[in-house]
């Protein structure tokens, strides 16, 4: 198991564990856009290098203004963070919940960060036959017991969404039960705009809803760290009041600004490729390898291996061949046979399936 | 007043306030090495750009190992932070002090961060005739009243140190009175090694001492954010337990690693230039402009303007001429006549003094 720090994408640990050079690793364990960063974003970061001698803007003014225009909200409704993870931490620090609710399986940081900042975690389990979603009534029941609820939209590691009607119901109950609803939209950009279920256009109406987004997955810059929260101005002010000065570095801000310009075709190609390659991967996984998958809308797939294969064993076998996959055995609500695969490009997926076939043939 | 966010170096606000282009500003308000980053550090960051598609190492293994060797401590005694500011925040989150002690005048974040995370701040005042140091007995008195004490070493904005004997006394009392002593050594690298007063070689002996250092001021990379804490392994573990995963970005880690190699002559030149240019500035400030200064060991100078000049007025006059200075009027314990000037290179200081003479001649 190479998720020493609870996540995929840890090339250092993988290199040490499998004896493969990290630069040669094909990483299906982290859900990053396989196109890599848009070239003009890298150019902009390169130009910004001459300015690392200056502090970042502590108020993130330019990026907030650009995001505000793109999202059609006021700039006072945006808090830029050092990755989506910082936004989640700020929400926890600002709200200081005693009890946090989660719906398993979900991103491990919801529980990790909550415990880190002193909250107890209460979880309910999604149902395998509903792609691990819980029923809205069950979620409402949970909300009445907790001070803050994390909801992945689309959820990680399943890739499924709740629909808008369900979200609006939850948002209304959030206010009623004084429970902060944190909707983690870190992967929503991978979904075509007309298929995204998001409270964004109406978020200001809800006193108890915070949306959190990531710019590092879709634009392939996780090394730089960049995310943001969107909520009503009062909530955003509360998040900002807990933020450490200059926590967002200058190159991340510059990259974010560049992502807001001339990225339309990059965004379109990304979404098209995600759909196409996800279908390709699911088809082969099911047909050739007898795996079970769930209907993801995101750039990753939750996969249940057929007996007698285990996630740990497959991770080791593929790891030695230079391919990283995410072992999902430590996700509450999942099993030892569950893995998560990022959706990448055809070239690398062909290699993945070649290696998979090899491992399959060798047998357990 | 352009310290809208409590600090110098805010070029965005300065540009808006003074109508000068930020790229043309000469910034004496932020204490950054005027040499700029070592060229090979920038080269390394540039090379690392191709890897921003990967997450940073969540455990900062390479940089910790390199720092451990350089500082002659175990790697388990180091916590890398997203700037020294994050290290301070982690100390506050980990120790959750009810009362925090500070010695005015000092870095504003000590009080800001403490209040941000729920502590009350109790301050005592240093004495102008001791370069705004407080007596050790006074500090001990304060320590007995608080759960955590911040001490700048050298202190910002004064640039003076406590001596080793005083530090050891405070460290012993810290354990006795169960008060965490946070020694902020953000600027200590600017002092020649044989003149630095630091508990670093003995820090593991003290159960209640955490040293915090910055890499962004000395190596001129504040835009990247990089700092670290040094303390016994148990304390470091407590800090890390509050850190948000991936808070230190990949380019900052790469820059830090590059700073640990082949920087000897850069470091020497920096220290020599700091002494020489500081003396040059102090001499002219006192002789030509009748200012009062204090004996700084760091790369900045606290300056009291002669009557009737005020910091705010001078900041505006110089700001319009494209030169930023730090107005110290909002520092507890200082006056409306106090400014802080970074120590820079001769070329820029000549411009500073030309403009200063101009302003002086115009009169208030």
Q: What are the φ/ψ torsions at residue A205 (nearest 5 degrees)?
A: -70, -20
DSSP B262: S
State residue A364's pLDDT score.
63
The token duo for B307 is: 């009557």
Let me know: does B37 contact A52? Beta carbons within 8 Å.
yes
Residue A1 has pLDDT above 80, yes or no: no
The distance of A13 to chain B (nearest Cα, Å) reads 9
Which of B27, B241, B249 is closest, CB to CB, to A224? B249
Residues B143 and B173: their CA atoms lie apart, in Å, by 8
State residue B46's pLDDT score.
96
State residue B22's pLDDT score.
87
Interchain pair A223, B54: CB under 8 A: yes
The distance of B274 to chain A (nearest Cα, Å) reads 17
The distance of B229 to chain A (nearest Cα, Å) reads 16
pLDDT confidence bin for B364, thresholds 50/70/90:
low
Please compute the mean of the pLDDT values over residues B174-189 and round it to a whole number: 98
Helices (H) and strands (E) in chain A, counts: 12, 13
Residue A161 has pLDDT above 90, yes or no: yes
Let me know: does B241 contact B95? Beta carbons within 8 Å.
no
Residues A310 and A334: their CA atoms lie apart, in Å, by 12
Cβ atoms < 10 Å from Cβ of A217: 24
Interchain pair A223, B55: CB under 8 A: yes
Let me know: does B328 contact B336? Beta carbons within 8 Å.
no
Least confident of A150-154, B12-16, B105-109: B12-16
Residues A349 and A277: their CA atoms lie apart, in Å, by 8
Please compute the mean of the pLDDT values over residues B75-83 and round it to a whole number: 98
**Taking CB atoms and an 8 Å cut-off, how many pairs form between chains A and B?**
167
State residue B211's pLDDT score.
98
Closest CA to A302 of A344, A343, A353: A343
Please compute the mean of the pLDDT values over residues B209-222 and round it to a whole number: 97
Respond yes or no on whether the N-terminal peptide bond of residue A105 is cis (omega within 30° of 0).
yes
The sign of the CA dihedral B237, B241, B247, B249 is: positive
How far, in Å, are B44, B91, B228, B230 from residue B211 at the CA level? Answer: 27, 10, 8, 5
Closest residue, chain B, to A87 (C-alpha)? B244
Interchain pair B53, A109: CB under 8 A: no
Give the three-class secondary structure for B342: strand
State residue B75's pLDDT score.
98
The distance of A146 to chain B (nearest Cα, Å) reads 22
Interchain pair B59, A86: CB under 8 A: no
How far, in Å, are A36, A112, A221, B203 from residue B92 at the CA level? Answer: 38, 19, 30, 19
State residue A12's pLDDT score.
87
Give the three-class secondary structure for A123: strand
3-state helix, strand, coil in chain B (%, to 5): 45, 15, 40
Residue range A41-94, pLDDT digits in tens: 999 999 999 999 999 999 999 999 999 999 999 999 999 999 999 999 999 999
Residues A325 and A342: their CA atoms lie apart, in Å, by 8
- The number of residues in chain A equals 364
For residue A184, give every residue at least 6 positions away whose Cβ sits within 8 Å of its Cβ, in sequence order, or none.
A84, A88, A107, A110, A150, A151, A152, A153, A156, A212
DSSP B133: B
Please compute the mean of the pLDDT values over residues A151-178 and round it to a whole number: 98
pLDDT confidence bin for A328, thresholds 50/70/90:
very high
Interchain pair B53, A252: CB under 8 A: no
Q: Which of B25, B34, B54, B186 has the most A C-beta neighbours within 10 Å, making it the best mutation to test the interface with A?
A: B54
The distance of A190 to chain B (nearest Cα, Å) reads 16
Which of B10, B86, B224 is closest, CB to CB, to A244? B86
For residue A137, give every residue at least 6 positions away whose Cβ sits within 8 Å of its Cβ, in sequence order, or none.
none
pTM above 0.90, yes or no: yes
State residue A8's pLDDT score.
85
Give the three-class secondary structure for B174: helix
The token duo for A129 is: 């036959």
For residue B12, give every residue at least 6 positions away whose Cβ sits within 8 Å of its Cβ, in sequence order, or none.
A57, A59, A61, B22
Residue range B151-177, pLDDT digits in tens: 999 999 999 999 999 999 999 999 999
State residue B23's pLDDT score.
87
pLDDT confidence bin for A7, thresholds 50/70/90:
confident
The distance of B129 to chain A (nearest Cα, Å) reads 32
pLDDT confidence bin for A134, thresholds 50/70/90:
very high
Interchain pair B37, A52: CB under 8 A: yes
Alpha helix segments (H runs only) across B144-177: 164-176
The token duo for B361 is: 């001649």
User: Which chain B residues touch A226 with a CB distance below 8 Å?
Assistant: none
The rounded percent of chain A whose pLDDT value lies above 70 is 100
**Residue B21: burial class (beta carbons within 10 Å; 0-12, 13-18, 19+):** exposed
User: Which chain B residues touch A225 with a CB distance below 8 Å?
Assistant: 56, 246-247, 249
Interchain pair A86, B247: CB under 8 A: yes
User: Which chain B residues touch A342 with a CB distance below 8 Å?
Assistant: none
Residues B364 and B359: their CA atoms lie apart, in Å, by 8
Residues A353 and A63: their CA atoms lie apart, in Å, by 40
Closest residue, chain B, to A33 (C-alpha)? B53
Least confident of A5-14, A25-34, B272-281, B300-309: A5-14
């Amino acid at each position: 198991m190479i998720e020493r720090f609870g996540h995929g994408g840890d090339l250092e640990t993988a290199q040490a564990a499998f004896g493969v050079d990290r630069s040669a690793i094909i990483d299906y364990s982290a859900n990053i856009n396989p196109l890599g960063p848009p070239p003009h974003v890298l150019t902009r970061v390169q130009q910004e290098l001459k300015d690392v001698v200056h502090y970042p803007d502590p108020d993130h003014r330019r990026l907030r203004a650009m995001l505000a225009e793109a999202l059609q909200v006021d700039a006072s409704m945006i808090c830029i963070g050092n990755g989506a993870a910082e936004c989640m931490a700020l929400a926890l620090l600002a709200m200081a919940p005693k009890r946090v609710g989660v719906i398993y399986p979900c991103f491990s940081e919801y529980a990790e960060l909550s415990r880190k900042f002193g909250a107890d975690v209460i979880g309910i389990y999604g149902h395998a036959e509903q792609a691990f979603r819980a029923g809205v009534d069950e979620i409402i029941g949970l909300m009445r017991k907790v001070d803050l609820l994390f909801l992945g939209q689309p959820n990680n590691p399943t890739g499924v969404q709740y629909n808008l009607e369900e979200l609006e119901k939850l948002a209304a109950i959030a206010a009623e039960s004084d429970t902060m609803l944190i909707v983690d939209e870190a992967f929503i950009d991978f979904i075509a705009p007309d298929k995204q279920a998001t409270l964004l256009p109406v978020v200001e109406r809800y006193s108890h809803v915070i949306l959190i987004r990531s710019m590092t997955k879709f634009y392939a810059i996780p090394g730089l760290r960049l995310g943001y929260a969107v909520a009503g101005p009062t909530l955003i002010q509360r998040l900002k009041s807990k933020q450490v000065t200059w926590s967002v570095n200058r190159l991340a801000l510059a990259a974010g600004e560049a992502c807001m310009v001339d990225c339309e075709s990059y965004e379109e190609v990304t979404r098209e490729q995600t759909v196409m390659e996800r279908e390709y991967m699911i088809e082969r996984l099911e047909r050739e390898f007898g795996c079970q998958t769930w209907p993801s809308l995101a750039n990753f797939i939750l996969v249940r291996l057929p007996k007698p294969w285990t996630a740990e064993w497959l991770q080791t076998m593929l790891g030695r061949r230079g391919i990283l996959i995410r072992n999902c055995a430590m996700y509450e609500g999942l099993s030892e046979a569950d893995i998560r695969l990022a959706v990448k490009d055809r070239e690398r997926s062909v290699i993945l399936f070649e290696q998979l076939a090899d491992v399959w043939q060798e047998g357990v």
